[in-house]
Amino acid sequence: MTEFGINPLVADELTSPSYKSRVELYRNYIYLILHFPAFKHSHKKEDAKQEVDFIIGKNFLITARYDTIDAIEKFSKIVEVNTILDRGLGENHTGFIFFGILKEIYQSLQNELEYVENWLSQIEEDIFAGKEKEMVVSLSQASRILLNFKKSTDFHKEALNSLDVLGKKIFDEHFSYHVNRVLDEYQKVIHSIRNNTDSVTELRETNNSLLTTKQNEVMKVLTIVAFIALPLTIIASILQVDFVSRPIVGHPNDFWITVLVFVALGILMYAYFRYKKWL
């Protein structure tokens, strides 16, 4: 804070994670908070997203992280190697380094979305392999991951557009060129999220249709069994009737009268069900 003239409120915020992403302009730097979805690259199992705080000055760049972020570690090694080999980075202002970090993070998100895409391909194979019931949980997990990706990256476009406007007040006009390049990487991530989300929706509908078809087949078999058992049950019930001690005792056609009563009641019930459009 003392070395780079950081506002005490900003310095205090760097000590703990923030709940919302935002971008703010100060006298000689831009303060940016971005949240990124964490799926495969998180080193904390309980976290669904990772936060990176950036303080972007003309001659300095400060990052605050609360988890090990592989993309930033990878970029730092690239910078270290280029420095050792004295190759440079092509440009020397911190804005360029900042965009290099963002580009590396977005590329890592695309790699994770490719993993999700491959996972969905495996889910599709399992669905048509007769594992519809097991895939209900897998589809829900994939949908949850994609929802987290969407929620975490929704603010990024607004933040990058604001960064384009605010960056011109500290850096030169070339700053917008880098913003647009990062926006291109961001759009690739959003496109992958939408494609995978559409795939999950289609797979869920297909899986539900197959599950419903299987359930209908089971119900059809049970209905046939019940239909076969019903007349047998009726015959058995009639044969168990004691016509000697019943009101129609002594009637010469007491058995057939009982059968006709059963048939008449069945016809009436069938007609009523047809009237109610239950059949």
Decide if 87 is inside a domain.
yes
Q: If you average pLDDT over every residue of the chain, what do you get? A: 82
CB 253 within 8 A of CB 243: no
Q: What is the mean pLDDT of residues 204-217?
A: 88
> What is the per-residue pLDDT for 120?
93
Query: Is it the case that residue 239 has pLDDT exceeding 90?
Result: no
For the entire predicted model, the pTM comes to 0.73
Could you tell me if 54 and 189 lie in one domain? yes
Which range, 2-6, 18-22, 224-228, has the best average confidence (pLDDT)?
2-6
Q: Please state the rounded mean pLDDT for residues 176-192.
A: 90
Distance CA 54, CA 121 (A): 37
Question: Is pLDDT above 80 for 251?
Answer: no
Is the domain of 143 the same as that of 182?
yes
Residue 37 has pLDDT above 70, yes or no: yes
Within-domain flag for 228:
no
Range of the domain at 271: 241-279
Confidence bin at 279 (pLDDT 50/70/90) = low
Do residue 255 and residue 199 come from a single domain? Answer: no
Beta bridge partners of 51: 35
> Do 245 and 140 fall into the same domain?
no
* 37 and 80 inside one domain: yes
Residue 2 belongs to a domain? no
Q: How many CB atoms lie under 10 A from the CB of residue 7?
A: 15
Q: Which amino acid is at 211?
A: L
Residue-level pLDDT at 166: 87
Confidence at residue 34, expressed as pLDDT on a 0 to 100 scale: 92
Domain stop point among 177, 197, 214: 214
What secondary structure letter does DSSP report for 91? -
Residue 55: DSSP 8-state:
E
Does 226 fall in a domain? no
pLDDT digits (tens, 9 = 90+) for 103-112: 999 999 999 9
